[in-house]
Structure formats: structure tokens, C-alpha cells
Structure 1
Amino acid sequence: MPRQSGEGNPVPPLTPVTILQIAPELDTGGVERTAVDVARACVSHGWRALVASQGGRLVAELEQAGGEHVTLPLASKNPLTILANARALVNLIRSRNVSLVHARSRAPAWSALIAARVTGVPFVTTYHGAYNQKSALKGLYNSVMARADTVIANSHFTKRLIAERHACAGDRVTVIHRGSDVTGFARAAISDDRLDALRAAWGLGGHERVILQMARITPWKGQPVTIDAFARLDPAAHGDCVLILAGDAQGRGGYLDALRARIESHGLGERVRLTGHCADVPAAMALACVVAVSSVEPEAFGRAAVEAQLAGAPVVVSDLGAVPETVLAPPQVTAEQRTGWRVPPGDPGALAAALDEALSLDESARKALTDRARAHAAEHFSLHAMCAATLAVYEDLIPAV
């Protein structure tokens, strides 16, 4: 806790608290978004916020929030580069009086761990993913995320995974669910101009109903399942629907070609659109009649499902990973208490049936569902709660704060 003056007011530390977050890049995705959100919270708290990465789209937003970016080749898994990055981080920690280092990905976490131990500053990690661990070597590589003074798990699912995989973590694991901006996803916060701009970018005329999958274009996110499910929808009932697959392919040209071929094989043509990176996620969710989260491997958290609920879009998700923590559905709750649909992963028939049910809701049933879902997501997965809990972890580890 902050030191108190004789009048009970907080006394600023003699040197400002400086938090250094480490990420491979600052481009797109949950890791990057969370790093910027926490940096903004640090600045609002009167601290200095540094983020080291190899750069990307979100650097400008970080700097606008009052944070500072340090460019290093932290996405590299080359052992020599990892060691060079460790030396650079040691120099950075010492020159900028860094109070705590927080690593958010495995390769840069090895550099950060070395630098933190050399300099004696507290070290935090966030275990963001259900990382592949099919060999002892991969287990060793992943274990860096469990070697911190405090290990943040982004869900209870992730905490269980850490306990199963990494005995070294012991009792140092704490759950902090990823948070989203409750106010920013409210319909009142999204201007008609933003919606019109996105409709134009996606080639929509305004009469279509949008089924949205907002996910990186990569096989484990399950875009083929979504395409196959969309092809099964009854055109008489849902012929006005368009499937938008929004996300960055990050160089996966072969996978993009395979998706286009799959769309063509179903004869779906312009009814399915691969629209690339979307910078305005709240507007995208606001345009959606239903959101599909069709992952075929476990989500360690699943931000898209939370943001769909905050935006008032019915959501259908694969029932694996952390999903039971974010979307309420039978048999966990009654049908009247659901906040979305959960279906078996990799099952286009089940996904199509759930999409049909969501698209067929009458106005009153849809409003009841979306009001319930927004309240659930706002209560449990807010950006404010995530940032407050993260800064509390920092305060517990930094001496005299």
C-alpha cells in the first residue's frame, strides 16, 4: 500500500514507480491489448509505464495513453537473441529505475526472467494461453511462465492447467480474468458514423444480418467450422445473412487460400467475407446479429465471447477451455438464465442449430438475453476490475509502495 502522511494522505515515492511490461510485439490480440490497458492504468495511478516489444499497431495508442515503447527483437525464439535481449533489459531496468517486470509471452519471458534476477526486481508473468506442450522440451520452454514471483492466470481453467503442468508454480498463482471496456462496448458509445464506416469497409448495404467471427485467421480458431455451419443455415429463413470473418492472417496465405476454396465449394460467394484486421471491435460487435466463437482448441480465456456479451450480440461458443467461465448456458444454468450458447467444438451441425436459434429469437427474447449477458459480462469481466487487481499484485511485490 502507498505510504501515508501524518494527515493520512498518500505520499508519492521518492522515485516514481516504473512498470516494465514485456511482449513479443504490440500489434493485435489479447496479449497486446491487455498490455496497453494495464499501461494506461499505471499512468492513471501516477506511475511510469514502459512496454518493450518489437513494435506494431498499438504503439501509437500506448504512447497516447502516456506510456513509453522500447523497441527490441522480443518476438525471436533464437537463444542468442534471447540472451542479447536479456542484456538489453538489464540495461533498461537499471537506466530507467524499473520497479517491476511483467512478461506476457514465453520467449521474451526468458529474457525478462534473466534480467529480473540479475537486477533483483520483482518478476510477474501472465499465463495467457493454453500453450502446446507435447514434449518435455516444450514443457521446459513453457515453464518460464510459471517461474515468476507471482503468476497471473487469466482464468480458472488456466490456473488448473498451470497446476497440472508446472509444479514449480506452487501457490504463487492468482486468477485475474481478462477485462474489457464495459462503457466502450455500450451501444450509446458507438456513433452511427463508426457503424457506417465499418459497413462501407465490409461492403454492406445496411439490410444484411451479420454473423461475425472476430478471431485471428489461424486453424485453431475454427473458421472452417463456421463456414460449414453457415452453409447449413436454411436460406429461406436466413438468406439475408452475411458471414464476416474478421481477423489478421499474419502471413498465413495458404490457410487463407484454403478458406476461400471452402467458401467456393459451398457456393457461398459474397455471402462470406474475409475482411482482415478490424481496428474498431466495438463497432463490429454492434453490427453483429450473432457472434460465433468456433475455436477447436481450448481458449485460455476467450475475449471475443465477453465483448460480444458486452455489445449486446448473442454469442455461440465452442464448449471447451475457459468458456464455461464466460458464457452461461444449459446445463450449467436454465435456458431462461443463459447468456449464450455452448456447442461441441468442431461440430458444424451443432453450431448451425445454435446460430439458427439465436437468429430466430423474437425481439423480446433477444432483449432479455442480451440484457442478461451484458450484466453478466460487466459484473465479472470489466477492464476496471482487471487493472485494479493487476496493480494490486504490483503493489504487493514492490517494496515501500
Structure 2
Amino acid sequence: MALPPDFTLLQVIPELETGGAEQTTIDVAHAVVAAGGKALVAARGGRMASRLEADGGRLAEMPVQSKNPLVMLGNASRLVDLIRRERVSVVHARSRAPAFSALWAAHMTKTPFVATYHGVYKAKSSLKRWYNAVMTRGDLVIANSDYTRAHILAEHQIDPERVVTIPRGVDLKRFTPSWVTSDRVDALRTGWGIAPDERRTKILLAGRLTRIKGHLTIIEAAARLKAQGRQDFLVLFAGDDQGRTGYREELNTAIAQAGLGEDVKLVGHCDDMPAAYLLCDVAILPTLVPESFGRAAVEPQAMGRPVIASDEGGTAETVVDGVTGWLVPPGDAQAWADAMGRAIDLGPGKRLEIGQAGANRARSLYSVDAMCEATLWAYERVLEARA
């Protein structure tokens, strides 16, 4: 779609490391530049900043990740200067702490303010509910799934007309099996120490190393499979510990104590997820808390891989039980062992059929192009309302 003349978007996010919110920030910035606008991102920086700039966007580096009130006040002043200097058309906040600075700057400059609820924020007190509600105080709230939208409406009692669902998109140009060369898969196999003649079913959990992702559930499930005498699986944990060295050591200890040193591997951060999904046979998302969307359940489906996911939150929308994968109760190690066993026993042919059903569905519902187009229309909507 065409943007208004001289359109400039400012997105505000704590940092540009890895994650769904960060990837969406990069995708939307790229779409704005492709449509003839300017795309700015205020963030602390991060490994994805180079991708932003390669796409024609610009990074305004500032400590917006901070929750220190004095730093937040300073950020607000910096953002006011940036908005005025760059003649920003819309401010889009993607996290709560920087949203306070961004909202204040938007009010000071009379600039439309949009916020995306990337997660389901829990509130056990009125103070926390007030803190979370900063995401609802602008012109429009974007929810990344119907599950998230229902949570926003129940938690904050705002006008439903001000909350729109725009599912997170997957870059179908990047996540296309035919575009991934065999040398990329071979390089990953070598880097992860997997033998070329490995015949075991490879099960991939992609996500940062944090307790809520459910790694310990899978270690327990793998131990139960091994106790049945099974030796036909290899579980791969691909993700950065982001400084959580204690949790990484806890996982290594659990793997060793279960005698799974040859069956479960921590392979570290992965920059080539399309190749990673082609290397594996099944993808899993065993999160212990509901995912608001669950990009790690959609990307493997786009690559033709069946998915086993926790039966809660956004993944209950993106995975169709028995059709594109399986939904399993979160934290139930025996249920996960059973589901993993069923996926292994299906064999390559049946898994391919399920994977193809997932690919067809992902391509029809979750393209990054559709997500970006809907987001740009949301910007158009708030600009028209202000006019």
C-alpha cells in the first residue's frame, strides 16, 4: 500500500536482540521503507540492528530498556527531540517500560501513538495493572492473536474498537524449503555435531534458554522414552542463554543425571532457522506459560515440519491438533513423551503429510506481507482519525 507523503515511523523497543517482537519490528520497518517511508527504531542496540540498517531503517540508540524513572524521563526528552527533528508521523511502542517514555513524548508532540501487546502481561496488583495499561493509552492497540485481544479486553475494559488483531507474520520468502540449499543444512549439521548418517528422529526446540520454554519437561519426557528402551530420537535445544548461565548448567546437569548425554544436545544460538527446521523432523514448543502467538510454532509449519505444542494461548490457534501437529498439556512430561513417541512412530511419510498441511495453512494465514500490510493500514487509520 502507499503511505502518506513524508511518512516517518518511530518504533520503540528495549533492544534488537532475538525474539518475536524484535523480528516484527524489523519486518515492519522494512515494509515502511519499501512503501516509500522512513523507518526509525529507538532501542539500546543488539545483534539485529545491522539487519534494520541493511533494510534501509535507522537505529536511534538510547537506553529505552531501563525501568529507572530518571532514565525513562531522559528517554522521553530524547524521544521528543527525535520526533521533532525527524518529523515522525506515528510512534509505535512494543514494550511496556519504553512505552511510558514514548507515550509521554507522543503527547508532548501531539503525535499518534500505537502500541502492540506482544505478550499476555499478568497483573497481581492494581499497580501492576496500571503499569501494563500503558500499552492501551494510545490511539490504537494491536494484539498479536485473538487470545491476546481477549486478554486485553478482559483486563483493561477498553473500547473493543480500539483493539485490533494482527497475527504475527512469518517471512515466507525466508521460510521456504526450496530456497534452503543443502550446504546450509550440512553446515548446521556439522556445527551441531550431528553425523551425516544419523537416522534417529530429530526433535527441535527453538527458543532462548529460559525456564518458561519447558526444556526440563522435555528432558523428563526424553528420559521416559529412553526408559521404554527407545533409542530412535535426538532432541536439540537451539537457543541463547542470554546470560542465564545458571539455567544452562541446570539443563546440562539434568541431561547428565538422566543419562541422556547422547540423546539431548544444547547446540546454542542459531542464525539459520530455516535450515534448522529442515535438519529436524519434528519441532516442539513446550512452553509452561501461554504464548501470545508462538512464532516458533508457525515457522516450522511453513517449512513443512509437524509441530508439537502446549495446548494453551496463541499456539492453540496456530497448531491444529491432529492436522498440522499435536497439542499437549503444558508441563505434563508423560503426555509429552507420548506425543513425541507417536510423532516418531508415524515415520517420514506420514510426518511429511502433516507437515504439508501445516505449510499450506501457515502460508494462507501467517505471511509477513499480510502482517505488514495490516499494520500499515492501522497507521493509516490513526492518522485519518487524528485528521
Letter in 1 for 2:86: R
State the Cα distance separating 1:397 from its structure 2 match. Answer: 1.9
Offset of residue 168 of structure 1: 3.9
Aligned to 1:158: 148
Matched letter for residue 70 of structure 1: A
In 1, the alpha carbon distance for the partners of 2:168 and 2:210 equals 21
1:84 and 2:74 aligned? yes
Q: Whole-Å Cα distance in 1 between the matches of residues 122 and 213 of structure 2?
A: 14
1:351 aligns with 2:336: yes
Measured in 2, the distance between the counterparts of 1:124 and 1:238 equals: 51
Q: Distance in 1 between matches of 2:212 and 2:65?
A: 21
Deviation track 1:263-307 (CA, whole Å, cap 9, x = no partner) reads: 111011132111221111111111111111000111100000001
- State whether residues 170 and 366 of structure 2, in contact with CA within 8 Å, keep that contact through their aligned partners in structure 1: yes
- Give distance in 2, aligned partners of 1:165 and 1:120: 27
Choose the corresponding residue for 1:375, options 360, 377, 383.
360
The partner residue of 2:136 within 125, 142, 146 is 146
1:291–1:308: 8 Å Cα contact kept in structure 2?
yes
- The 3-state SS of whatever aligns with 1:124 is strand
Q: Describe the SS at the equivalent of 1:75.
A: coil
Give the match's secondary structure for 2:380: helix
Map of 2:24 onto structure 1? 34
Pick aligned residue for 2:308 from 304, 313, 316: 316
Once residues 178 and 281 of structure 2 are traced to their aligned partners in structure 1, the CA distance between those partners, rounded to angstroms, is 17
Per the alignment, residue 123 of structure 2 pairs with 133
Q: Does 1:187 align with 2:177?
A: yes
Maintained 8 Å contact 1:296/1:318: yes
Summarize the alignment of residues 2-401 of structure 1 with structure 2, pairs less than 5 Å apart.
13=5, 16-168=6-158, 170-208=160-198, 209-234=201-226, 238-329=230-321, 335=322, 338-399=323-384
**Residues in 2 aligned to 1:214 and 1:366: alpha-carbon distance in whole angstroms:** 19
SS of alignment partner, residue 11 of structure 2: strand
TM-score by length of 2: 0.95
3-state SS of 2:142 partner: strand
Q: Secondary structure at the match of 2:346?
A: coil
TM-score, normalising length: structure 1: 0.92
Percent of residue pairs identical: 48
Measure how far apart 1:178 and its partner are: 0.3
State which drifts further: 174-183 or 133-142: 133-142
Contact 1:147 1:169 in 2 (8 A): no
Distance 2:354 2:147 in 1: 25
- Return the alpha-carbon distance in structure 2 between the equivalents of residues 389 and 107 of structure 1: 25
Shift of 1:207: 2.8
CA distance in 2, matches of 1:301, 1:161: 13
Q: Mean Cα displacement is larger for which, 279-288 or 97-106? A: 279-288
Q: Is the 8 A contact 1:226 1:292 kept in 2?
A: no
State how far apart, in whole Å, the 1-side matches of 2:111 and 2:265 are: 48
CA 1:276–1:320 in structure 2 vs 1: closer, same or farther (change >3 Å)?
Answer: same
Any conservation in 1 of the 2:305–2:352 contact (CA below 8 Å)?
no
2: CA distance between counterparts of 1:80 and 1:201?
45
Any unmatched runs of 5+ in structure 2? none
Specify every segment of 5 or more residues in structure 1 that has no aligned partner in the other structure, as ranges.
4-11, 330-334
CA–CA separation in structure 2 for the residues paired with 1:254 and 1:129: 25
Q: 1:364 to 1:166 in 2, by over 3 A?
A: same
Deviations 1:51-71 (A, max 9, x none): 110000100001000101110
**Preserved contact between residue 126 and residue 153 of structure 1 (Cα < 8 Å):** yes
The farther-off stretch of 229-238 and 303-312 is 229-238
- The aligned amino acid for 1:42 is V
Please give the secondary structure, in 1, of the residue aligned with 2:281: strand
**Aligned residues between the structures:** 384
SS at match of 1:129: coil
**Matching residue's letter, 1:134:** K
- In 1: Cα distance, 2:55 partner to 2:230 partner: 43
Deviation beyond 3 Å, 4+ runs, structure 1: 234-238
